[in-house]
Amino acid sequence: MIPLKRRKVSQTVNQPNQTCKFPHVSIFILERKMGSTRRAFLTRLGRSKGFLITDTYSSSITHVVSENNTGDDVQTWIDNQTGQESSSSVHLLGIIWFTESMEAGQPVPVEDRHILKEALELLAENAEYSDNEGRSVAFRRAASVLKALPYRVQTMDQLKCLPCLGEHSQRVIKEILEDGTSSEVESTRHSEQFQAMKALTGIFGVGVKTADRWFREGLRSPSDLICTGQQLNRAQQAGLQFYDDLNKHVTKAEADMISEIVKEAVSAVLPGAEIQLMGGFRRGKEVGHDVDFLITHPEEGREEGLMPKIINWLEGRNLLLYQKWTRNSYLEKLDGPARPANNMDRFERCFSIFKLDRPAEATGSEGVRSSDQSEASSWRAVRVDLVVSPYSQFAFATLGWTGSKLFERELRRWAGQEKRMSLSSHALYDSNQRCYVRVQSEEEIFAYLGLEFIPPCERNA
């Protein structure tokens, strides 16, 4: 590998740490592409809030914070400084983790969006913005393969015979291994279109096509929508109003708080109903972007008309900032094997934004704020999806709403190509037997597909 130029660590930050509140977190702020002045400012800020900020990189570092670098850039810099690979336990993080930790007054949980974008994932994201689903899936598959490897790739020979690594992905990987960075990735990451699409699609209720139209009209950020008086629907208005909150992580503790609220609501309007926390939290993640719930009742048919009752209960307690309810439109005889398996399911559901009270101790923290929301706000906005499933479809719905998206895509591809079965969040149809398969659990679905059961914690593909 061609080494990158080394930079001396600035001595302007060489000041003793003040009282350290979090000795288990040792932070190194990388000066590369940041500059000594900004690094010195961030170091003083962190130390003033009780964080352990070290001046030089060492094996004791737990968190490396960087700005305007990819994960590959930082990893290469570290390897060049130490002469060896860094521990896989070191978190390579973007500046957003640092600023959110300053705001919280303590180290926040590390989630996917804090981690410096890997090259292939960034290209996958950009392909999504270009509405090129095939290319996006190809990059995400390649990235998943690399993540699953028990070693860090150092030569192209290590990639031989591995699946899902197309020519484009291999070309990017080869450039990174040889030069320490990818010109395509760098130009994409810094492009005006990529940054604008990322900001605009971050608005709740805004998809790629709408964001692309706005970009072509000259809009680049949420603030541009306000300045130009853009016409927005109800969802987009709510998304703009609560933009900062909805683009912050949701912690497991917050998800648990919402779970208690949902359980109380459902129990009040339909005793005996079952409620399951879904999505990334069911897969064992500590943070997520929203909170999903799947609701059913053991007596088939008792779940019909449940959602409006739940909504009325929540609205009566001023817990909803926004909600959109859709009815169950699935009919097995019409929506079964003839409909593509990757179509969005058609359960009764409510897309909502909850008004979640903050714990008293969390409302008085000082920090870095990028919005004009009240600094002492006693609540925050959280995206919550409520889904009601008939009991006969509950196992399929559980599998579908657990995710991850890529895992579900691969599982349905396996069902179709290897087993001639059509799998959706509603049903499993066997084309060989020309009949629907009835199951009571996820385990039975895996068995019918000829696979060993894969627990939710192993589905973060």
The catalytic site residues sit at 290, 292, 385
Listed residue (121, 7, 84) closest to 406, CA to CA: 121
CB-count exposure of residue 69 (10 Å: 0-12, 13-18, 19+)? buried
323 touches 311 (CB < 8 A): yes
**N- to C-terminal Cα separation, the chain:** 29
What distance in Å separates the CA atoms of residue 242 and residue 204, rounded to the nearest whole number? 9
Listed residue (97, 143, 87, 106) closest to 21, CA to CA: 106
Instruction: Output the DSSP codes for 321-376.
Output: EEEEEE-----HHHHSTTS-TTSPP--EEEEEEEEEEPPGGGSS------S-S-TT
Q: Which residues pair with 436 in a beta bridge?
A: 429
- Residue at token pair 């385990």: 443
Distance of CA 15 to the CA centre of its chain: 37
Q: Per the structure block, which two tokens stand in for 314?
A: 């929540």
**Cα dihedral 299/304/307/310 (nearest 10):** -50
What distance in Å separates the CA atoms of residue 408 and residue 394, rounded to the nearest whole number? 16
Q: At residue 268, what is the residue type?
A: A
